[in-house]
Amino acid sequence: MLNIMEVHETNQMIEQEKLDVRTITMGISLLDCVSDDLATLRTNIYQKITTYAKNLVSTGEAIERDYGIPIVNKRITVTPISLIGASACNDVDDYVKIAQTLDKVAAEVGVNFIGGYSALVSKSMTPTERLLIESLPTALSVTERVCASVNVGSTKTGIDMDAVALMGRMVLEVSKATADTDSSGNSKLVVFCNAPDDNPFMAGGFHGVTEGDAVINVGVSGPGVVRTALEAARGKDFGVLCETIKRTAFKITRVGQLVAQEASKRLGVPFGIIDLSLAPTPAVGDSVGEVLEEIGLEQVGAPGTTAALALLNDQVKKGGIMASSYVGGLSGAFIPVSEDQNMIDAAASGCLTIEKLEAMTCVCSVGLDMIAIPGKTSAATIAGIIADESAIGMINQKTTAVRVIPVIGKDVGDMAEFGGLLGRAPIMPVNQKSCEAFINRGGRIPAPIHSFKN
Amino acid sequence: MNKAIITVVGQDTVGIIARVCTYLSEHKANVLDISQTIIDGFFNMMMIVDYASSDKEFGDIVADLEGLGDEIGVRIRCQREEIFTGMHRV
């Protein structure tokens, strides 16, 4: 039978250490909504999502109440819209209308984000995929809850450098279109390499074409719990350190598994995966940076940061894998600068640079995330950053992503304010040398060799 | 059997257990086990109850006990047991 100390430990994690379930995300396939008539397509999308997701938020709230665990976000992902709109959309405005339908339906069912305004162009773009990408500046400025992503490369296909160059330009255009809110449109746009089909986290989540009609995916979190557990391992060797992280990750993930199974049962929708990610928020004590500092760094960005992050990421996975029947999504530690107080401090002090963050993305679950850069940065330089990050993903067979925010009208030394969970970020300096001739070559980088791994 | 864990945390005072038990008996929830201890200077009490035959919805029990805690000046939580067994039992 349970003892009082175990019960106290769980409630301490929830109340003092900010343990929560970060998101219950319902993936919904829109493949059967396809029509060559835009109005019919929009009606079909509206009906399908409202039918499946009408009880998502209330069910999430009931689970929160029954188990006493906060479930911070309830969200929806849909099939990449470039596919769904292909036969009905003739111009950029047609795609924007679909984005508006998604925004409306998200507001009606009460979710704060809906992901899947996406195009998967890892080898090449169709004309309609190009239209969706070109619609991003308008789509992201006229909607509030729509999240977009573009997959520009993969280990199997190489990198579509035409898409990379186009995304460099589009990121800048999105910034200009949302200049009045510190270019926050880019907080809802992720450029991926090796994007997963079942990611429950935003802004990069979409419901892949390999998925079923509907699915429940759950993202767990809990950097505060890991940091508190590590206080007991101060001064101990790496064996003790890793064991502590692993045990904690196991406990956190078990809560996610329970919530996922319960949500799946109550909503009558199959359970997909648990995403084992340490996802920070701007709240004090909910920081991945703080975990890295607890491991032994004076500040994130110091030598040793990449190694500390590598072991953290790996132990989170090792602990979490046994706690869940199905693990997927991104699974690891997120390092979004603007959403993590210790990362914000380290970036503001100059200890954490974009180059160090790039190294960190080689061993963590995502990539250059929520990084504010000067608004005057050129499209070619942004494309260069995307290409670098994609190359890391392609060669290392892992997901990488870029969510950089060129903040119009701001420069190094200024702060960008995005508000809420998206936080605030110091504008970080970007290498000023040009890569224009490299980006302007056009075409595609071939898929890498799969042996001779050195 | 549907088990829930009720926890009371706060300043010890006369009649906490009595009032919680009165509420539970009025609504036909059966107390299976009670334990208490002091953690970090605070009174901690844990009850395991079976609410399968209760005449109230579980959500109402959670809200009522929280309200009772506010009256007494302690924190009372009522949670389904699975979150604890999930985390602490393989």
Is A1-334 a CATH 3.40.50.2300 domain?
Answer: no
| A406-424 pLDDT tens trace | 999 999 999 999 988 788 9
Tell me what percent of the residues of chain B surpass a pLDDT of 90: 80
Q: Residue A351 has what pLDDT?
A: 96
Q: Looking at beta carbons, which residues of chain A come within 8 Å of B51? A: none
| A376-389 pLDDT tens trace | 999 999 999 999 99
Which residue of A5, A11, A246 to mutate against B (max B Cβ within 10 Å)?
A: A11
Predicted confidence (pLDDT) at residue A222 exceeds the cutoff of 80 = yes
Tell me what percent of the residues of chain B surpass a pLDDT of 70: 100
Q: Residue A453 has what pLDDT?
A: 73
B44 close to A (CB below 8 A): yes
Give the domain ranges of chain A: 1-334
Tell me the β-bridge partners of B43.
B10, B38
Of B58, B84, B86, the CB nearest to A7: B84
- Which chain A residue lies closest to B45 (C-alpha atoms)? A4
Predicted confidence (pLDDT) at residue A308 exceeds the cutoff of 80 = yes
HSE value, Cβ hemisphere, 13 Å, CA-based, for A386 = 37
A268 pLDDT band, cuts 50/70/90, is: very high
- Please tell me the distance from the alpha carbon of residue A327 to that of residue A266, in angstroms, as a whole number: 21
Q: Residue A203 has what pLDDT?
A: 92
Q: How far away is chain A from the Cα of B59, in angstroms, using its nearest Cα?
A: 7
Cβ within 8 Å, pair A6-B39:
no
| B34-64 pLDDT tens trace | 999 888 888 899 999 999 999 999 999 999 9
- Which chain A residue lies closest to B86 (C-alpha atoms)? A254
| B58-70 pLDDT tens trace | 999 999 999 999 9
- Which chain B residue lies closest to A4 (C-alpha atoms)? B46
Q: Is the separation of the CB atoms in A68 and A111 below 8 Å?
A: no
Q: Residue A216 has what pLDDT?
A: 96
Range A318-322 average pLDDT: 91
Which residue of B87, B88, B89, B90 to mutate against A (max A Cβ within 10 Å)?
A: B87
Of B46, B59, B86, the CB nearest to A62: B59
Q: Residue A199 has what pLDDT?
A: 92
- Which chain B residue lies closest to A7 (C-alpha atoms)? B84
- Whole-model pTM? 0.93
A279-288, A421-430, B26-35: which range is least confident on average? A279-288
Q: Residues 6 or more apart from A205 whose CB is under 8 A from it?
A: A25, A75, A77, A115, A116, A147, A149, A199
CA max distance for chain B: 38
Range A417-437 average pLDDT: 92
Cβ within 8 Å, pair B36-A255:
no
Q: Looking at beta carbons, which residues of chain B come within 8 Å of A1? A: 33, 48
Cβ within 8 Å, pair B83-A68:
yes
CATH of domain B3-88: 3.30.70.260
Cβ within 8 Å, pair A7-B37:
no
Q: Residue A221 has what pLDDT?
A: 83
Q: How far away is chain A from the Cα of B51, in angstroms, using its nearest Cα?
A: 12
| A23-34 pLDDT tens trace | 999 999 999 999
Tell me what percent of the residues of chain A surpass a pLDDT of 90: 87
Q: Between β-strands A21-28 and A71-78, what pairing exists: parallel, antiparallel or unpaired?
A: parallel
Predicted confidence (pLDDT) at residue A454 exceeds the cutoff of 80 = no
3-state secondary structure of A319: helix
Cβ within 8 Å, pair A4-B62:
no
Closest C-alpha among A189, A257, A247 to residue A219: A257
User: A187 to each of A139, A149, A199, A360, A369, how far by Cα in Å?
Assistant: 13, 11, 17, 20, 9
Predicted confidence (pLDDT) at residue A130 exceeds the cutoff of 90 = yes
Cβ within 8 Å, pair B83-A67:
yes
Q: Residue A127 has what pLDDT?
A: 97
